[in-house]
Amino acid sequence: MKTVSIAGLVLISWVFLSLIAPWLPLHPERMALPAILEGPHSHAWLGNDDLGRPVLDRLLVGARTSCWVAGGVVSLSLLFGTLLGSSAAYLGGYWDRVLVMLLDIFMAFPGILLAIALAGLLGPGIGNLVIALSLVGWVGFARLARAQVLSMKQREHVLAAQALGTRRRRIIQRHLLPLIAAPLVVEATFAVAAVVVAESGLSFLGLGVQPPEASWGSMIRDGVRYLLVAPHLVLAPGIALFLVVLSVNLLGDRLRDRLDVRGGRS
């Protein structure tokens, strides 16, 4: 319980700092040449990077970037994947076969490699990064929604709604989606951690957030060259990334246990 509380505190701090970052007196692009590669000191609590910029300010801006990307990607993936998977499963026949074919095609490629390919085709930038990760992330939600609807569409209340002539869209919205909400919420929780890692990885490769914008992945990439002389450049964003991902996974496990969801991860 104590571990979960700490994880919750980390996530609340992450989201809160992401929301208030635009109103904080941050100067992530202010260069101080005499302070290049300096370690933590009173004027820069986490030190300065290779251009003399304050690492703490850039870390907070990077937290905002990862939070917004994760929120956007998970929201789009959840919406599109759930609607597509539940609709195809309920309609069955041709629509279900087409969805299964699409899922097989997307699952034939490792997710991160497909995201790299899409990000390379679309070009760098936060908007294209969200699109690329969403085009990969919807698959898990569609698989889960399809499996859940297939197991529930023969239940008595659904058959009764069909016998009363209720429209298919209303049956999906009122009788099926509320029943599959719990596993989808758990899936979305784990998806947040996956997106944060993917965003940092793509930014590390130069396919995500572009300079002068800050991202934890790009901060790690820039700091690797000075790892021996200025390890704080890698440790600060690396520890932040580790804590956020670990906290999301811990809360996801806790949420899955509370909701008694089995097989929620895909």
Confidence of residue 76 (pLDDT cuts 50, 70, 90): very high
The model's pLDDT over 143-169, given as tens digits with 9 standing for 90+, comes to 999 998 888 877 777 778 778 777 877
Spatial separation of the C-alpha atoms in residues 177 and 227, rounded to whole Å: 49
Confidence of residue 74 (pLDDT cuts 50, 70, 90): very high
The model's pLDDT over 9-41, given as tens digits with 9 standing for 90+, comes to 999 999 999 889 888 888 888 888 888 899 888
Residue 108 φ then ψ, to 5°: -70, -15
Confidence of residue 263 (pLDDT cuts 50, 70, 90): very low
Taking the whole predicted model, whether its pTM rises above 0.95 is answered as no
pLDDT averaged over every residue in the chain: 88
- pLDDT of the residue at 262: 52
Instruction: Set out the domains of the chain in order of their start, with CATH numbers.
Output: 2-23+47-259 (1.10.3720.10)
Residue 12 burial class via C-beta count within 10 angstroms: exposed 0-12, middle 13-18, buried 19 and up: exposed
Establish how many alpha carbons lie within 13 A of residue 23's alpha carbon, considering only the half-sphere containing its beta carbon: 4
- pLDDT of the residue at 219: 93
Spatial separation of the C-alpha atoms in residues 197 and 206, rounded to whole Å: 14
Residues 214-238: what's their mean pLDDT? 93
* Percent over 70 (pLDDT), the chain: 97
Spatial separation of the C-alpha atoms in residues 218 and 65, rounded to whole Å: 11
Q: Is the pLDDT of residue 266 over 50?
A: no
